[in-house]
Structure 1
Amino acid sequence: MSTSCEDCPLRADQADQAPSARAVVAALRRCPSCPHLREPSPAAAQRLAACVLELDRERSQACGELARVQSERRELVLEAEAFERRLRELERLHRASSRELETQLELVRHQRDEIRRLSTPLIEVGEGALALPVIGTLDHERSAAMTQALLARVHEHKIRRVIVDVTGLGGVDPQTIQHMLHMLGSLRLLGVRVLVCGFSPALAQLLVARDIPFEGIELVRNMKEALSRIAARKRSSPSLRAPR
């Protein structure tokens, strides 16, 4: 009997012990030609049967665990596929919303430009003469846009006389006056004759209280008087007519 047989769990004198199936398998691997396996005793046969049952239970448990892992794997695959589909859908929606947002921004820019254009109604009131009704509040942005449009029109059409009607001017305050003075001063630098009409009592009081100068700018009561002055000046000074 070999040394390994002395510890063999299938020996008859090991009957009081209950080796595990793994211990029996390990012993048989060490001794493939185990004599106790070829001619097992009743106790060894009983141990082998118990080992087979234990191994079968372990196999069943392993198969169950494998099935569970495979099921979880399938669920993870399905979740990953669903996530990819959702991601593609979100990317599509993002592209669509970006295009829609760009369209909306372009529309807003167009409307803003149109509002600016409409907020600066330049009206021809004669040869080489323009009238600009100022309606609403006059903040920095609107004042800059209005001045730019007015100066461009003056330069392109050789305008020599401009009537600024402030009858509809709202929100009269020192800042508004500064914006208006800047616009009128820019016209004066181009050699344009500037007439301002339509002063409200509140605006007149503010101008007097702050001693705001209007050098080189003609102040008249209303548009009718402004047009009369332009017509009278034109009749008396033909050289002031705008060149054709």
Structure 2
Amino acid sequence: MNTDTSATVRSAGAGLQARIDDYWDRRARVYDEAQHRDGRDAVDRDLWGRVWSSALPPAPARVLDLGTGSGHAAFVLADLGYDVTGVDSSAGMLDIARARAEAAKGAPPTFVLGDAIDPPVDGGFDVVVSRYLMWTLREPLVALQRWRGLLRPGGVLAVVDSTWFDAGLEGSPSEFVDSYAAVMDDLPLATAHSIEATTELVTAAGFSDATSRPLTGVLDVDRRLGVAPGHRPRLQHLVRGTA
């Protein structure tokens, strides 16, 4: 690829990401309130604590939480004793995460503004995690390859996601449709019909022992307590690999 073409591709990627970030900046407060609504906080801390503990090495360990948003996974992991750095490209989301960190007890996560595809952090992490990020990535294979480079040898990748839009955007909130309809074709995993599409990319990126596990406990809780407005319960999976 020549220099002019490379610059065009980078510019297109930056424009796509800016459009995605604008949506999450505008929706940050509503999204965070849905994540922490009455009846879910205590249940989620226990539920997700067990999910992450089942896939990660024991604390303390250095964890990089990519696409951290308002810090859902980052705070659960910090409460478990991990040394957590969260990265997100939505300044609106990070404003909420940082405010919560200032009020937190113990050692809260550190939050960094940056693109999850190319995180602005040094390497040497024991773990890379993400929750609901993979489907949003414009270059998931490139991202996974870079994440592997941030892990020490033997480090763990653990990502949670689902096939959220395998049937398209029908039934999604109108504001989401307005923002994402024009970019879905540029997000390779957005309309995947199987979590195996993610598992295969993990292997292609050089991780060994890539596996996926259905999170039936999360689905049960979502069905019992409800999910965010405009969403419906979906079976989520934890995909794990080793650097």
Larger relative helix fraction: 1
TM-score (norm: length of structure 2): 0.28
Larger relative strand fraction: 2
TM-score (norm: length of structure 1): 0.27
Q: Which has the higher contact order (CA 8 A, sep 6+)?
A: 2
